[in-house]
Amino acid sequence: MGFRDKLFKAVQALTFNDVLLLPGFTTVEPSEVDVRSRATRKVRLNVPFISSPMDTVTESDMAIALARQGGLGVLHRNCSIEAEVEMARRVKRAEALIIRDVVTVGPDITVEELLRLMEAHNIHGFPVVEDDERLIGIVTARDVRLADPSLRVRDVMTRNVITAGEDITLEEAKRILHRERIEKLPIVDKEGRVRGLITMRDITLKGTYPNAIRDEEGRLICAAAISPFDLPRAKALDKYVDVLVTDVAHFHNRNCFEAAKRLLKEVSAEVVVGNIGTYEAAEDCITKLDGIGGLRVGIGSGSICTTSVVTRAGSPTLFAVSQAADAVRDYGADIPIIADGGIRNPGDVAVALAMGASSTMMGNVFAGCRESPGRLVALEGRYYKEYYGMGSAAAKRKRYALDRYSQPSKTIDEGVEGWVPYRGTVADIVSEFVGGLQAAMGYVGAENITQMWEKARLALVTERGADELKPHDILLPGSGRSP
Ligand code: XMP
């Protein structure tokens, strides 16, 4: 292609702001629209929302809260391997039919040490075991509330522990917990060694969050970010998480592909690869990487991104999704697409789905939630939460995720730092976004996401026309001038 053609034939990389969904004939009411989807080949979502792996967005609290609402959190990797594994363990321990990863204590630690463990693990009762893992008692917050801190656990624990065998059913467990008025039921093998724990709390939670996404053991589904080059991190997380998500700004790179091939052979969790932004990149992922669980798509649209400003390179999320979705369809692949970056409202989600995405990843939206790790600050009577890009100077000070961006980014920042308005709890946001998305899908006439892929048609908005599509020619509160 000549240089002139390069310019004249440049493709239109449209963004969310450039388009509208055209209304279509509908037979469903918005409240009947089904927004269930998939994050990966195997992970089903009840709402198509995923939180970004960023250290001002997703740690355990966010991942727990979002999975309970039917979405998925991706734990960030801007920390040590141990810290990321601990976040994953917390998510997996938050709920379970039978807790397998039971934290036990020995009989000779002091009450003071026990209290410290309770706080560190956020657990209020421990099975007490001898060196050979045999159960000899149980100790709970109630046993130590007024106890002398220097006493040993063996002096305060309950000795006659009610236990159950490994074949117990959930119904039987409920009956025992109720009949004995106990909160915790250790599961032991024939030799009396602890093999699991059933708690009243977990049984109650199952009824509290009917929309939650859980694995076959009743634990919340959890995903975690990795670098494709960090095999030790991937292997350590693989024991706990359902999904590993590569966290690279430009995955379509030979070294990333070689590393991902190795990774896919070494882990049992599903692997989502990205970020990518073109048909060719998706094509290469589909044809060269065996067994990927999903594609993470979009480069440079993130609200905190300066990648495109600094490098003039990028693939806006809307455009990127359409590219990847066509590749997936052309190859008849069953690989869900995650639209990542630039999503501000339910309408953007709807447009991303219309282009073939199965779910949407949001940083900015979830950073404003109570459950995000960023600091809450009050500015002139309003509340905000801290939010910064993973390529910003703030994130890079922590150093662990330095390899997300191109080599020069060690000196050039590819993200900004700032504040987003506080938006309430994850449950509030999810319900607001589900309502908006159902309304958008109702206009399109789509009963579910598959129909959204088939039926949705787009219209282009001109720069001048965009003004008409916002509130206009009206004085909004606070906009008037004083006489
Ligand atoms: P939103 O728009 O939801 O976007 O805030 C979140 C997504 O942005 C990506 N991300 C970055 N991109 N520089 C970038 O170019 C950065 O510093 C940065 N940090 C995050 C990431 O894909 C995230 O999900």
**Ligand 1, from 16, 17, 51, 54: best to mutate by most atoms within 8 Å of Cβ?**
54
Q: What is the pLDDT of residue 308?
A: 83
- The fold of the 111-208 domain, in CATH, is CBS-domain (3.10.580)
In 3-state terms, what secondary structure has residue 313? Answer: coil
Instruction: Convert the pLDDT of each residue in 216-256 to its tens digit.
Output: 888 999 999 999 999 999 999 999 999 999 999 999 999 99
* Residue % of the chain over a pLDDT of 70: 97
Measured in angstroms, how far is the CA atom of residue 399 from the centroid of ligand 1? 17
What is the torsion angle, in degrees rounded to the nearest 10, for the CA atoms of residue 196, residue 202, residue 203 and residue 207?
-150
H or E stretch covering 185 = strand 184-188
End-to-end CA, the chain: 62
Instruction: Convert the pLDDT of each residue in 363-409 to its tens digit.
Output: 999 999 999 998 899 988 899 999 999 989 888 887 776 676 655 45
pTM across the whole model: 0.88
Binned at pLDDT 50, 70 and 90, residue 207 comes out as confident
Q: Is the pLDDT of residue 278 over 90?
A: yes
C-alpha to C-alpha distance for 379 and 290, rounded to whole angstroms: 50
Beta carbons of 237 and 223 less than 8 angstroms apart:
no
Closest-lying ligand 1 atom to the alpha carbon of residue 308: 15
Residues 33-56: b if buried by 16+ CB within 10 A, e if exposed: bebebbbbbebebbbbbbbbbbbb
Q: What is the pLDDT of residue 471?
A: 82
CA distances from residue 76 to 42, 50, 174, 383, 465 in whole angstroms, order as listed: 21, 12, 36, 24, 39
Binned at pLDDT 50, 70 and 90, residue 202 comes out as confident
H or E stretch covering 385 = strand 382-388
Mean pLDDT over each residue of the chain, to the nearest integer? 92
Instruction: Convert the pLDDT of each residue in 51-87 to its tens digit.
Output: 999 999 999 999 999 999 999 999 999 999 999 999 9
Instruction: Convert the pLDDT of each residue in 403-439 to its tens digit.
Output: 766 554 556 788 899 999 999 999 999 999 999 999 9
CATH of domain 13-95+211-469: 3.20.20.70
DSSP 331-356: TT----EEEES---SHHHHHHHHHTT
Q: What is the pLDDT of residue 405?
A: 67
Helices (H) and strands (E) in the chain, counts: 18, 19
Measured in angstroms, how far is the CA atom of residue 67 from the centroid of ligand 1? 21
The residues spanned by each domain of the chain are 13-95+211-469, 111-208
Q: What is the pLDDT of residue 36?
A: 98
Ligand 1, atom 18: closest residue by C-alpha: 389
User: What is the set of active-site residues?
Assistant: 305, 404
Q: Is the pLDDT of residue 480 over 70?
A: no
**Could you tell me which residue, 472 or 443, shows the higher pLDDT?**
443
Closest-lying ligand 1 atom to the alpha carbon of residue 307: 15
C-alpha to C-alpha distance for 423 and 57, rounded to whole angstroms: 13
Residue type for 38, please? R
Q: How many CB atoms lie within 10 A of CB 473?
A: 6
Residues 409-428: b if buried by 16+ CB within 10 A, e if exposed: beeebbbbeebbebbeebbe
Residue type for 125, please? G
Q: Is the pLDDT of residue 479 over 70?
A: no
Ligand 1 neighbours, Cβ below 6 Å, are 52, 54, 249, 275, 300, 302-305, 307, 340-343, 361-364, 389-392, 414-415
C-alpha to C-alpha distance for 404 and 384, rounded to whole angstroms: 27
**Could you tell me which residue, 477 or 168, shows the higher pLDDT?**
168
Binned at pLDDT 50, 70 and 90, residue 136 comes out as very high
The DSSP output letter for 180 is: T
- Please indicate whether the domains covering 13-95+211-469 and 111-208 agree at the CATH topology level: no
Q: Which residues pair with 196 in a beta bridge?
A: 187
Measured in angstroms, how far is the CA atom of residue 51 from the centroid of ligand 1? 11
Q: What is the pLDDT of residue 410?
A: 56
